[in-house]
Structure 1
Amino acid sequence: MGAGRTNVRSLLSGAGLRPTRQRMALGEILFGRGHRHVSAEQLHDEAQGARVPVSLATIYNTLHQFTEAGLLREVAIDGTKTYFDTNVDDHHHFFVEGSNDVFDIPAASVSIEHVPEPPEGMEIVRVDVVVRLRPRDPS
């Protein structure tokens, strides 16, 4: 999804978010390159490179606002690594240890046969599968 200025404004407005200058600038960086996975630190670096004056705290706040509005999907790899995915359709992920690359696995490629019943008063929203990879040892 290549998103120009007009498309980002529509995207934000359609999600119920006010298209502020910072949200617009970050939205153009996030959505202007098609589907991808970014960390808050990566987005901060890209924003600095694009001369968008924004703090890391604002990046985190904006990413969480975009996620709550349904524009991003949060992908928690472990307790220390979180990525934000511009592809919000149902799918799973490969995570390459060492390089920290994340890429999509189509939902149909993973079969989950048994999901436990949720606790009383709860419902299952989504099942996320993260398949961890590392290069094979050449020996």
Structure 2
Amino acid sequence: MFDSMDEERPTASEPAVRRSRSLFEKHGLRATRQRIGLAKLLFSKGNRHVTADALAVEAHAARMTASLATVYNVLNLFAQVGLIRSLAIEGTKTIFDTNTSDHGHFFFEDTGEVCDIATDEIKFAGDLEPPEGYEIVAVDVVVRLRPKSGSVPFSA
């Protein structure tokens, strides 16, 4: 979804607060100080995968007052309105992805890292036919990887 909103991604020439307020208004969200601050942290580094814990650490380092619960709530809200994607990969661990286009992910079991699968490498849903009365909304593909016995692991 964000690929259709690329013009709204942060640019150096516009104040971050104005961009965030405009984006929030478009999605029916109130532009609170914490949401604006977390959005700025989340989207200022390009497409990436982040946990709520990692974003909370970034917020703390930036001297933002946001509890871990607030970070979780904001990330889940952003995912609910389509600003980011939520990926349930390992039990209760959720990864949030700023790239909302249809794409898959490699999950490295040994390191816990996640990286995108290039869309030109695989066609995800082109040949799928949904059941009568349904439409495909999104395709979530996670390919789990582990090092082969005796091999040196790849670093994502």
TM bin (shorter chain) = 0.7 to 0.9
Query: What residue number does 1:125 align with?
Result: 137
Percentage identity across paired residues of the two chains: 50
Is 2:48 aligned against 1:36? yes
CA contact (8 A) 2:51 2:95 kept: yes
CA-to-partner distance for each residue in 1:107-130, whole Å, 9 max, x for gaps?
A: 342235764744x76543222111
In structure 1, the gaps of 5 or more residues are: none
Is 2:75 aligned against 1:63? yes
TM-score normalised by structure 2 residue count = 0.77
In structure 2, the gaps of 5 or more residues are: 1-8, 152-156
**Structure 1 vs Structure 2 CA RMSD:** 2.1
Q: Distance in 2 between matches of 1:101 and 1:28?
A: 23
CA contact (8 A) 1:37 1:102 kept: yes
Q: Distance in 2 between matches of 1:42 and 1:91?
A: 23
CA-to-partner distance for each residue in 1:60-83, whole Å, 9 max, x for gaps?
A: 111111111110111111322211
Count of aligned pairs = 138
Q: Distance in 2 between matches of 1:117 and 1:130?
A: 20
Please state which structure has a larger fraction of its residues in strand. 1
Query: What residue number does 1:109 align with?
Result: 121
**Pairwise mapping of residues 1-139 of structure 1 onto structure 2 (< 5 A)?**
1-2=9-10, 4-112=16-124, 115=128, 117-118=130-131, 122-138=134-150
Bigger mean CA deviation after superposition, 99-108 or 29-38: 99-108
- SS of the equivalent of 1:99 reads coil
CA contact (8 A) 2:102 2:139 kept: no
CA contact (8 A) 1:31 1:86 kept: yes
